[in-house]
Amino acid sequence: MNSFFEALAVNQLLFFATLAGLAASVVGGIMGSYVVVKRISFISGSISHSLLAGIGFFLWLERAQNISWASPLAGALIASIISALLIGWIHMSYRQREDSVIAAVWSIGMAIGLLFMSQTPGFTVELANFLVGNILWVTPHDLAVLAILDLLVLGAVLLLHERLLAISFDEDQARLQGVQVHRLYLFLLTLIAVTVVLLMQVVGIVLVMTMLTLPATIANLFTKQLSKMMFLAVLLSALFSLLGTFTAFHLDLPVGATIALIAGIGYILALTVKKKSFKFP
C-alpha cells in the first residue's frame, strides 16, 4: 500500500488519474441516483456508445484535416448532448418507446463514429482506449474540463433538485403542480450526457453504464431517500475508483476495467448484506 501512495507523490500520471476518478465519482453518484430512481439506466449505455460519433468525427478533423482545436473530448460532449436530446425529443414527440429510441441512437452513433475513425490515420489505439478506458491519458487540461463540468452539473442539481425529484418519481403529479415536465426531462438527460462524458474518461465507453448505475443501485438497496442515496452513491463510487486504481497499480491491470469489476463485486456483496435487512441511517 505504501508503494501506491509513494507513487502518487512522484508519478504525475497516476496522481492525475486518481483525481479524475474522484471527480467523476461525485457527479456519477448524484446523477446515477436520478437514473436509477427514474429507471432509465439504459439511456446511459445509449449515450455512451453514440458519443463515439463525436469522438470519431473530431479525431478525423484533427488527424485527417489538421484542425488542431478539434478535441475528442469536445466531440464526445457535443455528441452525447445531441443524443440525449434526440432520445427525449423522439420519445415525447412521437410517443415512441424509450427502449426502441435508445437502440436506434446507440447503433447509429456507433456506426458514424466507426466510419469516421476508419478514415482517420492511426485510429486503432484511440479506439481501444475510448472503448475500454485509459485513465492514465488524463492531462491537467482534462482535469480542468472535468472540474468545470462537475461544477456545472452540481450547480444545476442544487438549483433544480426539488423539480428533478418530482419528475423522477411522478411526472403526472409534477405536471399538476405546474412543473415544466418536458423541459426538465430534456435537461435531466443533458445532465446525464455530461456525466457519461466524465465517466468515459475513467472507465471507457463500454463500462460507463456500470459506474453510472451500480453505485446508485447499491445505495438504493439500503435507503429509499434520494438525498441519502446520492450521498452513499458518491462514497461508493469514490471507493470503487480508489480501490480499482490501487488494485490495477499493483497487479498491472487496465484501470477502467478493474474499477468496473470491483463495482460489480461490490454489488454482489451488497445483495448479500441486504438479506440481513441492514438500513443506511
Q: How far is the CA of 173 from the CAs of 116, 168, 185, in angstroms?
A: 45, 11, 14
pLDDT tens-digit series, residues 3-33:
777 777 778 878 888 888 888 898 899 999 9
Q: Is the dihedral of CA 84, 90, 96, 102 positive or negative?
A: negative
In a domain, 279, yes or no: no
C-alpha cell read off for 223: 435507503
CATH number of the domain that residue 131 is part of: 1.10.3470.10
pLDDT of residue 32: 92
For residue 148, the model assigns a pLDDT of 85
Mean of the pLDDT values across residues 75-81? Answer: 91
Q: Is residue 173 part of a domain?
A: yes
What distances in angstroms separate CA 179 from CA 84, 170, 182, one per listed residue? 20, 11, 9
In a domain, 70, yes or no: yes
Q: State pLDDT tens for residues 169-197.
A: 877 777 877 878 888 989 999 999 988 88
Give pLDDT tens digits for 194-215: 888 888 877 778 778 888 899 9
Please determine, for residue 263, whether its predicted confidence score (pLDDT) is greater than 90.
yes
Nearest Cα residue to 21 out of 137, 116, 108 = 137
Q: What is the pLDDT of residue 218?
A: 95
- 281 falls within a domain: no
Distance of CA 141 to the CA centre of its chain: 19
Report the pLDDT value the prediction gives residue 125, as an integer from 0 to 100: 61
Q: Is residue 220 in some structural domain? A: yes
- The number of distinct structural domains making up the chain is 1
Is 99 domain-assigned? yes
280 part of a folded domain: no
In single-letter form, the type of residue at position 190 comes to T
Angle 135-269-204 (CA atoms, 0-180°, nearest 5)? 20
Mean confidence (pLDDT) of the chain: 83
User: Is the predicted pLDDT of residue 126 greater than 70, yes or no?
Assistant: no
Assess contact for 218 and 267: CB atoms under 8 A. Answer: yes
Instruction: Give the domain extent around 205.
Output: 2-274
Half-sphere exposure of 86 (CA within 13 A, CB side): 19
- % the chain with pLDDT above 70: 90
C-alpha dihedral sign at 24, 27, 31, 33: positive
**Cell numbers at residue 192, please?**
446525464
